[in-house]
Structure 1
Amino acid sequence: MDYYLLSGEAILVEEFAYGVDHVTVGLGGAMWASGDEGWRGAGSFGRVLRTNEELLATATPVRRERAARIYREFGGGQLPSEEELRMHFGEWARFATAAPLRLGAGAAPDGFLEKRIYRVLFAKEPKAAQLAELSVAWRGTGEGGMPSGTGRAGDDLFTWNLRRVGSGIAWGLDVTVLLRGESSDLAGAVLRKLTADVRERGLIPVTTERFA
C-alpha cells in the first residue's frame, strides 16, 4: 500500500490493482483526517488528486511508519492493519485497458522469449537532490543526467530510466523487460519495486502502461 500526508493533517492510503500483464486496472483508497470518526473511501478522490494542481501540492508520499505516527499524534490511535484499511476502500476507481500500443522496435534478442516495454507515469515535480539520490540508488545516469539502471531478476533482464514525458508536463519511468521464460511474475515485482523507488523520492504514481 502507498501512504500520503495531505496538508499534514490527513492521511490517504492507496493501492493499485494490476492486470495479468502488470498494467494498472484500478485504484482503491481510504482517507482519514483529524477530527474524523473513521475512514472513508477515496478511490475516486485519488484519481482527482493526480489531475488537480492545488490538491497535488498538498500530498507528500510517506512510509507506513510515519503515517502511523501522524495518525496517533492526531488522535486516531493505532493505525489499522492493511487488511482492515482495505475494508474502507469502498468503490474502486477503474482504469480503461487496451492492448499494448506496440511502439517498441524489434523482437526479443536471441536467447529471450519476449521483449516488453512499460511506462509508469508520475505526477509532481522532483527536486534535484531527489533525482541525484535516485541515480545513486540505481547506480546509473542516462540521457540528460536522468536516473537510470540495469538489473537481472532470475533469468530476465531489465533496463530502465526516468525522464520527462508529455512535453515536460509529467515524468515517466520507462522499463524494458527481456523475458527468458513464459512467466512474467518477476517483471511485475521489479516494476513495483522501481515504482516504489521513485515514489519515495517525492513523485506520485499515476498509472502503468505497456507499450510492447
Structure 2
Amino acid sequence: MDYYLISTSAGDRSPAGVLVEEFVLGEDYTAAGIDSAEWGSATGVWSAAPEVSRAIRTDAALRARVTPVGRRSAYDTYARLGGGELPDEDRLRTFFRRRQPLPAAAPLNLGTSPAKSRRYRILFAGELGADGLANASQALRLEPTGDPRVVGKASGSAGGHGFTWELRRIGAGIAWCVDVTARLGTGPVAALGALLHHHRQAIREQGLIPVTVERFA
C-alpha cells in the first residue's frame, strides 16, 4: 500500500489527514485502477476517496499539499492526530468502496519487438528537484546517456529475465516516467512485477505520485 499525508496548505508541516492507496494490477502488471481511502482529523472517519486520488494527479495545487510517506510515518501521524492505532492493511481495504479506474488498452503490436519482449511505462506526476533527481538516479543505478530527453539508463537481470530501464522527463514540469523493457526468459514472471514495483516505489520516495503503469508492447 501507498501512504500520503495531506496538509491544509502547501508547505504545511502539520498534516490534517491520511490517504491510503493501492494500485490494482492486471496479470501483466499494468494498472487497472486505484483503490483508496481517506481519513481526516476533522471528521475522524475513513471514507472511500477516488476523487482525491484523481485530483492529486491532475491538480498541482492539491498535489503541493500531499507528501508520500511510508506506513511508519503514516502510523505516527494518525496517532498524533487522534486516530489511535492505524488499522492493518486488511482492515484498510474494507474502506476501499469505490475504485478509481484507469484507462486500459491492449498493447500495440508493431511487429518490431522480439518475441517475449515487453515495454512498460511507469508514469509519475510532480517535479523532481536536484536532490530528488540525484536520489532517484542512485536508486535506479542510472548512467548518463548523452540524450537530453533521458536522465539516465540502466540494465539488469532477475529470475532469468533481462531488463533495461530509463528515467525520462515529460515536458517541462509536467511529469516523469520510467520506461522498462523486459526480455522474458523461462523463469517466473513475478520477477517483472517485483522490478516494476521497486522502480515505482523508488521514484515515489522522492516525492512524485505514481499515475499509472502502462504497457506499449
Measure the CA separation in 1 of the matches of 2:80 and 2:57: 27
TM-score norm. by structure 2 comes to: 0.89
Residue 152 of structure 1: SS of its match in structure 2?
strand
Map of 1:117 onto structure 2: 119
| Contact kept? 1:132, 1:147, Cα under 8 Å | no
1:1-212 to 2 correspondence within 5 Å? 1-7=1-7, 8-102=15-109, 105-108=112-115, 114-143=116-145, 144=148, 146-166=151-171, 169-181=174-186, 183-212=188-217
Measure the CA separation in 2 of the matches of 1:168 and 1:116: 28
Residue 146 of structure 1: SS of its match in structure 2?
strand
- Aligned-residue sequence identity (percent) comes to 44
Residue 58 of structure 2: SS of its match in structure 1?
coil
Residue 123 of structure 2: SS of its match in structure 1?
strand
- Aligned pairs, how many? 207
Residue 32 of structure 2: SS of its match in structure 1?
strand
Q: CA shift at 1:106, angstroms?
A: 3.3
Measure the CA separation in 1 of the matches of 2:68 and 2:111: 32
Residue 141 of structure 1: SS of its match in structure 2?
coil
Unaligned runs of 5+ in 2: 8-14
Once the two structures are superposed, residues 14-44 of structure 1 have per-residue CA deviations (whole angstroms, 9 ceiling, x without a partner) of 0010111111101110101113231110123
Q: Quickly say closer, same or farther: Cα 1:28–1:159, change in 2 above 3 A.
A: same
TM-score norm. by structure 1 comes to: 0.91
Measure the CA separation in 2 of the matches of 1:101 and 1:128: 35
Q: CA shift at 1:49, angstroms?
A: 1.8
Residue 100 of structure 1: SS of its match in structure 2?
coil
Letter of the 2:32 counterpart: V
Map of 2:11 onto structure 1: none
| Contact kept? 1:101, 1:211, Cα under 8 Å | yes
Letter of the 1:180 counterpart: G
Residue 142 of structure 1: SS of its match in structure 2?
coil
Q: CA shift at 1:140, angstroms?
A: 2.1
